[in-house]
């Protein structure tokens, strides 16, 4: 009997579709209405970080260079107090096969798909992950479909997303492009069910295990180069996978004191599912529209339980503006001879500011670079912003209003990251958990402490405060 294809019917079969497409039964990890066994989920990937490194090496992924940005470090030190101005390094992930760190996630997922006998792979993404999955599928001889949220209702697409579609198609993938709205996940599930392909999800444990090699390399390369682990690693925060995988890899390398700092572009005020706001974003990567919801509610993904759980590992969360990221992109090219961006330059803009807080003998590592060009370059981004009525000028980035203006810093000293309220995000995660069960068990309390990177005392106090406010 043919299955119903209407929205409600397909969404109602979501868990069944996803189980078949991932080759995993997520039910066995559930421990109650709130908690689940995250570490068992990750362990069942079955590959050590060393195994993942070997798998990635077979398809031109991993072992990317660690580069010291001497000129940018010197410039940051110019604005720092005496004795401060940490050394800034970048992990040059552009050197991966598809030009970004997402190749690490894709390599393990596609490897697993081939091992399990799937004929093809799918991913729902408007970012670099599409090209990464397409690249790995081509190397492994598998078919590939990428589903993109690409256009507004007038058929106008953001140049960065259009460029990524071009990259996917160039690498042999079929690309299904959709307008902004709720149909993305529905269409993805529908095609996933029809094809029987493997869900090479950003949020599966295979993808996160692939990123562990990034943190592992950062820790080991920094130690080999400088004699010590980095004081901090700055990771772009969007869906949470970079922070989760990188932090886990850093810890596995023994760098337990390294601080994990998330960084996003501040797009507060722009609704990510709004047709009107869709093209008011001058950057589509690593912004608060994804970063904050996925931090405080990680299971809003295309898997029953997301393996990307940023708050578990984040010690601090900062934001920068679009103008600061674009300025930093030019600064990297002009001072260091490296044309990269824009995602990694979100981290670099933050690191430029953060380095001024750390002692001169400390090290801050920017966890990624990515390829740039065509629609990803800042020039088409700025032109697109201007075409959409965004005011562009030099000045003080603190006056930036997302969707209204884009302010390039008139001086590097004006690049100042801002702390996001990570405590509020932790409380928000706990509040959502209480909607599932208003009387959490001792096991739930322990789980929530791990989820929020706090302790049981914080969780209990937050629950008490939330219940008293009802």
Is the domain of 414 the same as that of 440?
no
Q: Do 261 and 341 sit in the same domain of this protein?
A: yes
User: 441 and 329: one domain?
Assistant: no
- Number of domains composing the chain: 2
CATH number at residue 89: 3.40.50.1100
Same domain, residue pair 258 and 337: yes
236 and 355 share a domain?
yes
Domain extent for 327: 52-98+206-419
Considering the domain boundaries, does residue 214 fall inside one?
yes
Residue 302 lies in a domain: yes
- Per-run averaged pLDDT (10 residues), the chain, 470 residues: 82 87 91 94 97 98 98 98 98 96 97 97 91 97 95 89 92 94 85 95 95 98 98 96 98 98 94 85 85 94 92 98 96 97 91 98 97 86 92 97 96 98 97 92 96 97 86
Cβ atoms 369, 329 nearer than 8 A = no
How far is residue 466's CA from residue 449's CA, in Å, rounded to a whole number? 16
How would DSSP label each residue in 240-299? Answer: SHHHHHHHHHHHHTT-TTPEEEEEEE--TT--TT-TTTGGG-S--SSBHHHHHHHHH-TT
354 and 445, same structural domain? no
- In a domain, residue 70? The reply is yes
CA–CA gap between residue 100 and residue 109 (Å, rounded): 16
236: in domain: yes
Answer yes or no: do 362 and 458 share one domain: no
Chain segment 345-393, per-residue pLDDT in tens:
999 999 999 999 999 999 999 999 999 887 888 899 999 999 999 999 9
Give residue-wise pLDDT tens across range 407-440.
999 999 999 999 999 999 999 999 999 999 989 9
Task: Determine, yes or no, domain membership for 314.
Answer: yes
**Element containing residue 375 per DSSP (H, E):** none
Shared domain for 388 and 445, answered yes or no, is no
In a domain, 369, yes or no: yes
Tell the burial category of 3 from Cβ atoms under 10 Å away from its Cβ (0-12, 13-18, 19+).
exposed
> What is the tens place of the pLDDT at every residue in 327-349?
999 999 999 999 998 878 999 99
85: left (phi over 0), alpha (psi -120 to 50) or beta: left
pTM of the entire predicted model = 0.96
Give domain status of residue 178, yes or no. Answer: no
How many residues make up the chain in this entry? 470
Rounded to 5 degrees, φ, ψ at 303 are -130, 155
Averaged pLDDT score across all residues of the chain = 94
Q: Are residues 320 and 412 in the same domain?
A: yes
Does a structural domain hold residue 458? Answer: yes
Q: What is the CA radius of gyration of the chain?
A: 21
Do 347 and 265 reside in the same domain of the chain? yes
Please tell me whether residues 376 and 401 are part of one structural domain: yes
Cα–Cα distance, 104 to 109 (Å, whole number): 9
Task: Please indicate, yes or no, whether residues 249 and 214 belong to a single structural domain of this protein.
Answer: yes
């Amino acid at each position: 009997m043919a299955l119903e294809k209407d929205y409600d019917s397909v969404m109602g079969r979501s868990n069944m579709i996803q189980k078949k497409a991932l080759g995993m039964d997520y039910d066995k990890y559930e421990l109650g209405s709130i908690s689940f066994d995250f570490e068992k989920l990750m362990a069942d990937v079955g590959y050590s970080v060393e195994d993942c490194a070997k798998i990635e090496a077979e398809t031109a992924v991993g072992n990317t260079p660690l580069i010291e940005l001497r000129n940018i470090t010197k410039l940051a030190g110019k604005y720092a107090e005496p004795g401060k101005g940490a050394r800034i390094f970048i992990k040059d992930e552009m050197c991966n096969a598809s030009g970004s760190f997402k190749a690490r996630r894709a390599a393990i997922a596609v490897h697993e798909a081939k091992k399990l006998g799937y004929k093809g792979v799918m991913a729902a993404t408007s970012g670099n992950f599409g090209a990464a999955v397409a690249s790995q599928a081509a190397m492994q001889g598998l078919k590939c479909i990428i589903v993109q949220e690409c256009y507004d209702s007038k058929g106008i697409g953001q140049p960065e997303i259009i460029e990524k579609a071009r990259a996917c198609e160039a690498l042999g993938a079929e690309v299904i492009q959709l307008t902004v709205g709720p149909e993305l996940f529905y269409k993805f599930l529908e095609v996933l069910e029809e094809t029987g392909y493997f869900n090479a999800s950003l949020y599966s444990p295979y993808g996160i295990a692939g990123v562990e090699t990034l943190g592992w390399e950062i820790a080991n390369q920094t130690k080999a180069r400088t004699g010590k682990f980095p004081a901090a690693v700055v990771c772009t925060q969007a869906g949470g996978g970079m922070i989760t995988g990188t932090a886990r890899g850093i810890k596995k390398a023994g760098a337990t004191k390294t601080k994990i700092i998330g960084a996003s572009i501040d797009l507060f005020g722009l609704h990510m599912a709004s047709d009107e706001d869709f093209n008011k974003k001058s950057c589509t990567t690593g912004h608060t529209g994804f970063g904050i919801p996925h931090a405080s509610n990680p299971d809003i993904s295309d898997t029953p339980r997301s393996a990307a759980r940023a708050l578990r590992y984040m010690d601090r969360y900062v934001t920068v503006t679009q103008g600061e990221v674009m300025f930093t992109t030019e600064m990297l090219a002009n001072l260091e001879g490296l044309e990269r961006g824009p995602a990694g330059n979100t981290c670099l803009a933050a690191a430029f500011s953060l380095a001024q807080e750390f002692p001169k003998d400390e090290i801050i590592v920017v966890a990624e670079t990515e390829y740039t060009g065509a629609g990803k370059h800042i020039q088409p981004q700025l032109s697109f912003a201007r075409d959409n009525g965004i005011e562009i000028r030099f000045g003080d980035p603190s006056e930036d209003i997302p969707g209204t203006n884009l302010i390039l810093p008139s001086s590097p000293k004006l690049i100042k990251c801002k702390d996001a309220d990570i405590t509020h995000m932790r409380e928000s995660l706990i509040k959502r958990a209480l909607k599932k069960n208003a009387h959490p068990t001792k096991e739930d309390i322990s789980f929530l402490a791990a989820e929020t990177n706090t302790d049981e005392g914080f969780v209990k106090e937050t629950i008490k405060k939330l219940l008293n406010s009802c």
